[in-house]
Amino acid sequence: MCKCCDSKQEAVFADSNQHRLNEIISAYQGHDGALIPVLQEAQEMYGYLPEAVMRAIAKGLKIPEAKVFGVVTFYAQFRLKPTGRNLIRVCMGTACHVRGAQKVLSEIERELAIVAGETTADQRFTLETVACIGACGLAPVMTINGQVFGNMNSGLVPDILKRFK
């Protein structure tokens, strides 16, 4: 796709959520520590943080753009690129780690030929690691699009991934 189509798409995408974004910014304006929650809510809405959105947040909160970009790149929870159609989260918290989460993660990385933090070239999957998701009794645990898979082992990975197109 050419650059001009790209930027047009982003403009339309941003516009459809513009009103809600403005509401979020207004709700936090003037509050200490507003930046992180505003970024979290914006990411929830867009799925990631497009540049235009980060600029709008900087302007709305009267914060330098460089500070917003700095925070987004510092914290692993923020995404600068859209996710794939299916978001896999592998828990690497203590209980899951002790019960073999690394093997599960390695198997997913091998199957998808990506490492944690990446998206497959066909946009089918994005893989992330997270700290405890509060289901330690089922460790090791992973989620796909919020659906929880407990008592995981690497042998279960291929069949589970096949279910997600």
- Contact range with ligand FES by CB under 6 A, out of 6-14, 62-70, 86-94, 114-122: 86-94
- Using the rule CB under 6 A, which residue among 35, 58, 116, 141 binds ligand FES? 141
The answer to whether 112 contacts ligand FES (rule: CB under 6 A) is: no
The answer to whether 152 contacts ligand FES (rule: CB under 6 A) is: no
- Using the rule CB under 6 A, which residue among 136, 144, 160, 161 binds ligand FES? 136
The answer to whether 148 contacts ligand FES (rule: CB under 6 A) is: no
- Using the rule CB under 6 A, which residue among 14, 63, 71, 135 binds ligand FES? 135
3-state secondary structure (DSSP) of residue 126: strand
Rounded Cα distance, 62 and 4, in Å:
29
The answer to whether 132 contacts ligand FES (rule: CB under 6 A) is: yes
Q: Which one-letter DSSP state was computed for residue 148? A: E
The answer to whether 14 contacts ligand FES (rule: CB under 6 A) is: no
The answer to whether 61 contacts ligand FES (rule: CB under 6 A) is: no
Question: Of the candidates 125, 98, 91, 123, which has an alpha carbon nearest to the alpha carbon of residue 110?
Answer: 125
Cis peptide before 140 (omega within 30 of 0): yes
110, 160 Cβ separation under 8 angstroms: no
CA dihedral 145, 148, 154, 159 (to 10 degrees): -60
Residues near ligand FES, by CB under 6 A: 91, 93-96, 132-136, 139, 141
